[in-house]
Every structure is written in structure tokens, then in C-alpha cells.
Amino acid sequence: MAVGVGLKNRPLMREFLAELLGTFILMIFGIGSVAQAVLSKNTVGSHMSIHWSWGIGVALGVSASAGVTGGHINPAVSVAMATLGRLPWRKVPIYALGQFLGSFLAAVVVFLVYMDALHHYDGGHRQVTGVNATAGIWSTYPQPYVSTWTCLGDQIFGTAILLICVMALTDSRHSGPSSALTPFCVGGVVVVIGMTFGLNCGYAINPARDLSPRIFTAIAGWGREPFSFRNYNWFWVPIVGPHIGAVIGAHLYQILVGLHWPDEYIVDDVTSATTSEKIVAGELNHAIELSQPDKLHINSKETISTESSMSCNVDARL
């Protein structure tokens, strides 16, 4: 109880832990699905099970953290929200640290769970490429015939599409899904991206999803090759590409849709502030600057709270 009371007065710690947990949930299901498919030689898993596991993992990870942080579970999303003024820049490193650490812990857990199966599969010879390659369970690697620059474009495009869809789903001015369904719609976007643009290099679209497990594999027996692959001209792509794509996607949505709503938009009841709005805002105590803040009015000034979010005054936010 004392710890719980203390964290109520430490919002940055709460946000750090929420992003850590949400990203851990995402990664434990995502990496786990790949491990099961690869180590069973696709007898207990397939591309379809992998796509759906990543998507549902996103949905559950967002659900676990949305009430506290908005459920970013992706450093690229946090950076994009900061560029829109919806997350203070000072919080971006805190969110990112939680995301990268949650991903790393998930990589460790999957390794421990499948340690015997992994040894049975590769005989203890950890490989990045080849018939018995297993590094791809944890991080993404491109097809041999796809250039690094094509993969960079792939990651920029895939993450931009992700952010455009997330912005649309969480824009309260649309007739969007309910707060309970929004995370699953976001997860559905990830499933579709995997089904349509996963061939080239595995649709990382999340720097934490790729870098933390890559660091783990370098430590856990795969040596330097997870980073030296393609003469060190690959590992940076799933880090840089998603950050660029997320910013492009978020601002493109604003340019094409977000800036063109009618001048006056009124929210009559603060209780209508849902997880959808928390996801896009990603910040419970920050007054959000929208495209026309002087035209935005929320009549009720009551304070809301949920089991997973601290009390906050929402008279200046959606």
C-alpha cells in the first residue's frame, strides 16, 4: 500500500512503468509467436499466427497502459506526439526508456521459456543467417534480395501508415470505436500492415520492438553479427525509419484532416473523454494544443479518474 501511495505522487514513475508493462505485453506475445513458429518448423505456428499475435499483442499492450500514458508502447509514437505538442519533450526519454526496457525483458523471458527448444533446433550454434538461423526470432532481418535503402523506405512508409490510422482511430471528432475497442482497432492496423508489407524486412515499425531484442541476442550468444549484419548497414534501419515515418504520418493526418474540422467543436460532457482520446494525447496532465485551441470548449470542468490513471483536470483536453 505504501508503494502504491508513493507512486500516485510520482507521475513520471507511473508513466515509465505503464509503458514498460505495455511494451512487455506487446513483445511477449509477438516474439513468442515467432519463436513457436520457427522452432516448430511451422508445425505449431505460421505467418498468420505471427501477424495476429503481434496485432493482439499491440491491442493488449495499449489497453494495459492507455489510462496512464495513452498506450504509446513505441518510441516513434512518443516522438510523433511530442512534435504535435501532445506530449512534453521532457517525457519522451522516460517513455522511451520504459519501452526499450519492457522489450528487452520480454526478449529475455521468451529466450528462457524456449531455451530447450532453441538448443534442440540449432544444437547450440546460434546463427543469424543460414538454414538454422534463429536471430530473426527476436529482431527483424531483410530478405537477401532487398536493398537496405528499400528497407528504409519500407519502414518509413509502414510507420507512416500506422500513425495515420492511429490518428484517425483516436480522433474524437470522428465516429470512432468505443474506448474498449480502440486498442483492438489499432492492433488490427498492425495485423494488416504485417499481411501487406511484411515481406521486405519484417515490419518492425517500432524501434523498441527491434533494438532491444537485437541487443539481447548480441549478449546471449549470437555475437556481434546482429549488428554487423550487412557490414553494419542494417541494424539502424528499424530505428531510424520508424521515427521518420511516425512524424510524417502524424503530421500528414493533421494536414489532410485534423486542420480542417469546423471552427467550433464542443464537448458537452467530460465523461466522454475516453481511452481513444488518451491514446492520441498520450498525456493526462498536459493541456493539448489542437489545430484550433481557441475554438475548442469543454463545458464540464469536473475531474475524472480511473483505476489506471491519476486524477486530472480535463477541461483543456480531449
**% of residues, the chain, pLDDT over 70:** 81
Segment 197-206, tens digit of pLDDT: 999 999 999 9
Phi-psi region of 73 (alpha: psi -120 to 50; beta: other; left: phi over 0): left
Q: Which of 80, 21, 108 is nearest to 206 (CA)?
A: 80
Task: Give the relative orientation of helices 237-256 and 148-169 as an angle to the nearest 10 degrees.
Answer: 40
Classify the C-alpha dihedral 279-209-107-29 as positive or negative: positive
- Give pLDDT, residue 254: 96
Contact 159, 205 (CB under 8 A): yes
- Give pLDDT, residue 199: 97
Rounded CA gap, 290 and 265, in Å?
11
Give the mean pLDDT of 24-53: 97
- Considering the entire predicted model, what is its pTM? 0.82
pLDDT band at 87, cuts 50/70/90? very high
> Which of residues 3 and 87 earns the better pLDDT score?
87
Segment 115-149, tens digit of pLDDT: 999 999 999 999 999 999 999 999 999 999 999 99
Average of per-residue pLDDT values in the chain: 85
Determine the 3-state secondary structure of 104 from DSSP: helix
Residue with cell 505538442: 85
Q: Is the pLDDT of residue 106 over 80?
A: yes
- Give pLDDT, residue 305: 35
Q: Is the pLDDT of residue 76 over 80?
A: yes
pLDDT band at 172, cuts 50/70/90? confident
| Domains contained in the chain, CATH given | 10-256 (1.20.1080.10), 263-313 (no CATH)
Segment 242-251, tens digit of pLDDT: 999 999 999 9
- Give pLDDT, residue 6: 64
- Give pLDDT, residue 8: 78
Contact 264, 231 (CB under 8 A): no
Give the mean pLDDT of 183-191: 97
Segment 269-316, tens digit of pLDDT: 333 344 444 444 444 344 333 333 343 333 333 333 333 333 333 333
- Give pLDDT, residue 178: 81
- Give pLDDT, residue 304: 30
Rounded CA gap, 58 and 81, in Å?
18
- Give pLDDT, residue 133: 96
- Give pLDDT, residue 295: 36
DSSP string of 147-215, one letter each residue: -HHHHHHHHHHHHHHHHHHHHHHT-TTS----TTTHHHHHHHHHHHHHHHH-TTT-----HHHHHHHHH
Q: Which three cell numbers mark 128?
A: 543469424
Residue with cell 502524424: 250
- Give pLDDT, residue 265: 56
End-to-end CA distance of the chain: 31
Give the mean pLDDT of 54-58: 98
- Give pLDDT, residue 307: 35
Q: Give me the torsion for CA of 195, 153, 139, 196, rounded to 10°.
A: 0
DSSP bridge partners of 313:
303
Give the mean pLDDT of 156-185: 92
Determine the 3-state secondary structure of 304 from DSSP: strand
Report how far apart, in Å, the C-alpha atoms of 139 and of each of 42, 170, 270, 292 are: 18, 29, 42, 41
Rounded CA gap, 85 and 95, in Å?
15
